[in-house]
Structure 1
Amino acid sequence: MRASLHRRFTAPLAVLAASSFLLVGCSGGADPNDPNAGGGAGDVGTADGVVNVYGTINGDEATLLEKSWADWEKANDIDIKYTGDKEFEKQIGIKVQGGDTPDLAIFPQPGLLADTVASGKVQELPADALANVKEGWSEDWQKYGQVDGTQYGAPLMASVKGYVWYSPAKFAEWGVEVPKTYDDLVAVSKTIQEKTGSAPWCAGFNSGEASGWPGTDWIEDLVLREAGPDAYDKWVAGDTEFTDPDIKAAFDSVGTILQDPSMVNAGYGDVKSINSTAFGDVATNVANGSCALTHQASFFEGFLTAANNADGKPATVAEDGDVWAFLTPPMAEGDPAAVTGGGEFVAAFSNDDDTAKVQAYLASADWANSRVSLGGVISANKGLDPANAGSDLLKSAVEILQGTDTTFRFDGSDLMPKSVGSDSFWKGMVDWIDGTDTDSVLEEIQAGYTS
């Protein structure tokens, strides 16, 4: 979703790293404040001091977003009006077809951005925004916002996926260490199960219309680690089908945990309860110690700090705290660090001066440092000071994103066409957890390419 970082998340204010959604009123009729409402999105807009921005981010996270640009708004005499919509992925297409487009949209998936660019309504990045993108972002991040070599989207925020969250104190009590390989992870899980007599893992795939996305993150982690970055790239590009042995092998590896009733679903039920458990709700059991392990992105820290530990106090996330995290380990000890992640991209439907100024600012290191310093999120902008990140975990995540030795790959489902990445892949993961055999699920997901 996601998890690009913001496409699927709902959380309270204390949930610093969680992204959430609230329908503020932009998915209905044309916005009377939008100078382009009802007209073609490619028309030249009139700079009137108002720039409408539409995205998935909402609630408390939207409050921080608006705070991040507040000083810049005043200095530049531009009013940025933000609207968040939990149905963005569906509504953006409807808006484009109906001519009810915002000035700027924050896309949570490069694949969805590419689909929208095909409408002919998305503007190429203006000069100042393009300059900021080239200065602040790696070539890989630039490419995620491109379609056929043309830059349409400017990177915004980011997340590091594939963290396994655990209790350092409990690990010491059980006599287990952070695993160095995936086989070690499975072995540690079995040891915990034997020592506690209960399932060590908890997971939640429920996320409304986006249910299933946490499972796609699992599969992507294993494809990258088992088959390698080249195979991952071919799979994401659609050159390798889901029915390929490499992809099935990733499902089998994930299944050693998620489909084993002795491994899941700690505190929530059996394997099938994964589908009925909201992805953020598992933070409760991880924080209070009734769930030993869960797999989730860097944003999950905010859900944990909003939950209580076993003593009824707010949980702490630190190496010596209630909860800490390690990256899903490689298949063999010594393999290069491989990380999946996500992010958002800002694209324009208007080309007036005010819109161009806002888009350029959001692509800058100045904005990245402003937003990250407010807590809960990170960015891959090269001009971001890691010290501005709100916690040790987020600081380490920034360093991973900026590290030259890290093999980074963008969330695969976010790069795939919408009919697969945010449709058949999500649905396939739900069916897989419900008990549909792997071969049938892989065929079902692959069929999304022809739907």
Structure 2
Amino acid sequence: MKRTLAAAVMTAALVVTATGCGGDDGKKSGSSDGAQELKGQTVTVAAVWTGAEEANFRKVLKAFSDKTGAKVEYTSTGDKFPTVVGAKAEGGNPPDVGMAPQVGVVQEFAQKGWLQPLSKNVSDAVDANYAPVWKKYGTVDGTYYGLYVKVNDKSTVWYSPQAFADAGVEPPTTYEDMLKAGQAISDSGLAGFSVAGQDGWTLTDWFENIYLSQAGAENYDKLAKHEIKWTDPTVVKALTSLGKLFEEDGLIAGGAKGALGTPYPGSVADVFGDKPKAGMVYEGDFVGAEIKGTLKKTVGEDAKLFPFPAVDGGKAPFVGGGDAAVVFKKAKNPAAAMKLVEFLASEEAGTIWAGGGGFLSPNKAVPSSAYPDDISRDLGASLIKAGDTARFDMSDQAPAAFGGPSNNGEWKILQDFLRSPGDVKGTAKKLEAAAAAAYKD
């Protein structure tokens, strides 16, 4: 759950209630006749979201309550969703609806028989307004279980406009030009990039964007399922491209040693703090929250972004994370739970959610005007434009022993590669050995 780690929202579980109102409010929220069809019923929901993300989601839940009369009880699990909700499901006492933060969680819960297939209404709404890839990620063994309602764009490069102006460079459209821009920034006095090497998940994100653009979506899918080996020439080529960033003197703030001591928040501060060390930092759209919240800078003025550029003539990548709404088979109120998921699939829900910021909808019916600022609108447009070429974070699809914070997994091996980027084939062999063991288990 890398996005959750990045946002640093590890908190104890808390419960907040959004209560349905009367018929007049139902009319205000868009109901055609103000009917309170679920009045007196309760739906329980669990998700990872806290803070501003929770507050924005509560607005959506309130709209559902106003429309239907249902009472919605929301529980935040912090970053412990699979553990907390999995234990409740195993004990026969799950929430009615869960917002699964990873593809693997949807797959695991479905394979254990804990989930109810989504309704035809949900399926039809998705067929009409979502790229097919998002339905694919919510489908397990041919049955549709997970509605992707919230997506993170992990293909964004954030930069200091002042650093670009000082170096005389413009936002690049190719990977090679991005490295050249970084070198120009380095020549002007700052490092080109800050890399959060202390957090191994950021290195997997670098690799995934390069690989998706360079090797293509079909190979990306195969590698994510370990249907091709990590010693495949496409992997070696992507590691070679990543190594160009790691091995160039002066391109990374502090060099490899400095990067390996830099956590994700520190990498953002290296570019947008009061004493900048670098001109660019790669990570997802959630960088904006760090800039605005912790560093108190203005996104769009002090900080701007450009899409992760195309590599070797490939398409510009869109790697995303996301949260899928699922209905539990042992839900206490399954009919009302499904009604909530049907509402979450609607333009109305997406429009309300988008207005709060920090949210991207894969629903193409959500208008760009719903987003609160130009950067959010651009990010939303990028998601829709990516269509079926968008791909879910690869390491989040892998077994935790390989894709997670394991001493023998991808995080650690890429940290070693950052330290010694010349050993491309050796790194590929280590990745394959670790993947083979994890996928076998």
* TM-score category of the 2 structures, normalised to the smaller one: 0.7 to 0.9
* Larger helix percent: 2
Partner secondary structure for residue 326 of structure 1: strand
Superposition TM-score, scaled by structure 2 size:
0.83
**Count of residues in Structure 1 that have an aligned counterpart in Structure 2:** 405
Counterpart CA distance in 1 for 2:11 and 2:342 is 26
Task: Give the equivalent residue in structure 2 for 1:164.
Answer: 157
* 1:272–1:433 Cα contact (<8 Å) kept: no
Q: Which runs of 5 or more residues in structure 2 are unaligned?
A: 16-37, 421-425
Task: Give the equivalent residue in structure 2 for 1:444.
Answer: 434
2:310 alignment partner, one of 311, 330, 351: 330
Task: Give the equivalent residue in structure 1 for 2:19.
Answer: none
Instruction: After TM superposition, list the pairs within 5 Å mapping 1:188-203 onto structure 2.
Output: 188-196=181-189, 198-203=190-195
Change (3 A) 1:327 1:233: same
* 2:200–2:414 Cα contact (<8 Å) kept: no
Change (3 A) 1:50 1:397: same
* 2:39–2:69 Cα contact (<8 Å) kept: no
Counterpart CA distance in 1 for 2:248 and 2:93 is 47
Counterpart CA distance in 2 for 1:244 and 1:104 is 40
Counterpart CA distance in 1 for 2:150 and 2:239 is 29
Partner secondary structure for residue 184 of structure 2: helix
Task: Give the equivalent residue in structure 1 for 2:68.
Answer: 76
Deviation at 1:250, TM superposition (A): 1.9
Instruction: Please list the CA deviations of residues 234-283 of structure 1 after superposition, one character each: whole Å capped at 9, or x if unmatched.
Output: 1123211223232233223223324656333x3xx553454553323432
Question: What amino acid is the match of 1:76?
Answer: T
Instruction: After TM superposition, list the pairs within 5 Å mapping 1:416-435 onto structure 2.
Output: 416-422=398-404, 427-434=409-416, 435=419
Instruction: Please list the CA deviations of residues 208-231 of structure 1 after superposition, one character each: whole Å capped at 9, or x if unmatched.
Output: xxx522222111101112212221
Q: Which runs of 5 or more residues in structure 1 are unaligned?
A: 12-19, 27-45, 309-313
Instruction: Please list the CA deviations of residues 388-409 of structure 1 after superposition, one character each: whole Å capped at 9, or x if unmatched.
Output: 1122122111111222788322
Larger RCO, structure (CA 8 Å, separation 6 or more):
1
* 2:224–2:394 Cα contact (<8 Å) kept: yes
2:132 alignment partner, one of 108, 124, 139: 139
Partner secondary structure for residue 200 of structure 1: strand
Partner secondary structure for residue 443 of structure 1: helix
Q: Does 1:24 align with 2:13?
A: yes
1:345 alignment partner, one of 319, 324, 330: 324
Q: Does 1:88 align with 2:78?
A: no
Instruction: Please list the CA deviations of residues 138-173 of structure 1 after superposition, one character each: whole Å capped at 9, or x if unmatched.
Output: 221111111122110111111222211112232121
Question: What amino acid is the match of 2:304?
Answer: W
Q: Does 1:108 align with 2:131?
A: no
Partner secondary structure for residue 98 of structure 2: strand
* 2:402–2:410 Cα contact (<8 Å) kept: no
Counterpart CA distance in 1 for 2:240 and 2:40 is 56
Question: What amino acid is the match of 1:24?
Answer: A
Task: Give the equivalent residue in structure 2 for 1:232.
Answer: 220
Task: Give the equivalent residue in structure 1 for 2:291.
Answer: 304
Q: Does 1:280 align with 2:265?
A: yes
Deviation at 1:442, TM superposition (A): 4.2
Q: Does 1:246 align with 2:238?
A: no
Partner secondary structure for residue 338 of structure 1: coil
Deviation at 1:345, TM superposition (A): 0.5
Deviation at 1:449, TM superposition (A): 0.8
Deviation at 1:423, TM superposition (A): 5.3
1:372 alignment partner, one of 354, 371, 376: 354
Change (3 A) 1:47 1:147: farther
Q: Does 1:399 align with 2:396?
A: no
Counterpart CA distance in 1 for 2:216 and 2:173 is 17
Q: Does 1:220 align with 2:217?
A: no
Counterpart CA distance in 2 for 1:424 and 1:241 is 19
Counterpart CA distance in 1 for 2:408 and 2:319 is 17
